[in-house]
Copies of this chain bind each other. A is one copy, B any other.
Amino acid sequence: MASIRDVAQRAGVGVGTVSRVLNGNGYVAEDTRKKIEMAISELEYTPNELARNLFRNKTGIIGVLVPDLDHPFFSAFARETEIALYNNGYKAMICNTIGSSNREMDYLYMLDRNMVDGIITGSHTLHVDEYLKRKGKIVSLDQEFGPEIPMVGSDHISGGKLAAEIILKNKCRKVLHITGVAPNVAANNRHAVFEAELSSHGVDVVDMMMEWNMFDHQSYWDAAAEAIRKCDGIDGVFAADQPALCYMHLAMEAGRRVPEDLKVVTYDGMDITRLCYPRVTSICQDVRFLAETCSKTMIKLIEGKEPVPQNQILSVKIQQGGTTYPVDLDGK
């Protein structure tokens, strides 16, 4: 592997001059430049980024922590974040924590060790303190860490309300509500709102808890099967895309018709809700906008010029599908 010294030697100049050519700063005489460029291409020289990074003490890489890439929401988030960062001259290092706090910690260490310039985290198995005590730049997706760490999230309160409204207008009487558990995760705000709304209208809500950081497919099926087994008379479901679809699948298998016998409203509204037939009624998060906002916030944090907004809440949208009857929600 040729180094800058080899290039300098071959071109018969000093390393400083080569560096100047490489970085396009300082004055370099035209024919010196030519000679150096010659040497560079002859030796097929590429600068060693590690050395540069050491000098600059930055890598241009942002760590993106997600609980599981196999979860459509997070793979989409990872994708969009990568794109947004790339467009700002940064690279993304996407990290799966798959529900393991060790892994999450391990990736968090990369911040301390200067391997990444910042971390955008959508992964929340660790104790809040672990994040708070880092000196590095952190942006959180959907989890509140307090004033020290900027957060970007969806308006889950409205999300829960909208879902409730749809369910109510569809005249469901007994609704299955599959919820996740993860402390401090803003997405869970929808649950309380949804239930309060329904209960206040005398609708029966059956709750089912799922481990939030366990995104393996089997656990969705298990939860759905358990729900089918345990309670009958369910005429509506509200859950995240995947558990809701599992339940719907099993219900249809058991001969129930959607939407006649069963209404389904999912949360997230990822692509699968459109591929299925009928298209699923969903409360959609704006994944791209979330990703762009996280990225932009990170850039601000790094550049330290503009002030960084503390909490940024983005609105959600309804996707009307065939798993509920069409309702008019005040033009939303």
Contact with A276, one of B95, B96, B275 (Cβ below 8 angstroms): B275
A113 B48 Cβ-Cβ under 8 A: yes
Given contacts A50-B54, A217-B274, A274-B217, contact A76 B83 (CB under 8 A): no
Q: How far is the CA of A70 from the CA of B275 in the complex (A)?
A: 14
From 102 to 141 in chain A, residues with beta carbon under 8 angstroms from any chain B beta carbon are 103, 107, 109-110, 112-115, 135
Contact with A275, one of B49, B91, B242 (Cβ below 8 angstroms): B242
B277 A275 Cβ-Cβ under 8 A: no
Q: Name A272's closest neighbour in chain B (CB-CB).
A: B272
Report the minimal beta-carbon distance from A57 to chain B, rounded to whole angstroms.
7
Q: How far is the CA of A141 from the CA of B246 in the complex (A)?
A: 31
B82 A75 Cβ-Cβ under 8 A: no
How often does this chain occur in the complex, in copies?
2
Q: How far is the CA of A110 from the CA of B90 in the complex (A)?
A: 13
Contact with A50, one of B50, B70, B76 (Cβ below 8 angstroms): B50
A109 B75 Cβ-Cβ under 8 A: no
Give the residues in chain B near A175, CB-CB below 8 Å: none
Given contacts A70-B79, A93-B93, A96-B83, contact A50 B114 (CB under 8 A): yes
Binary contact readout A57-70 vs B (1 if CB under 8 angstroms, 0 otherwise): 10101000000111
Q: How far is the CA of A217 from the CA of B98 in the complex (A)?
A: 26
Q: Name A133's closest neighbour in chain B (CB-CB).
A: B44
From 238 to 289 in chain A, residues with beta carbon under 8 angstroms from any chain B beta carbon are 242, 245-246, 248-249, 252-253, 271-272, 274-277, 279
Can you show 19 pairs from A to B with CB atoms below 8 A apart?
A: A46-B112, A49-B114, A50-B53, A50-B57, A50-B59, A50-B113, A51-B54, A69-B94, A70-B76, A79-B98, A82-B96, A83-B98, A91-B93, A93-B94, A217-B271, A217-B274, A246-B275, A249-B279, A252-B277
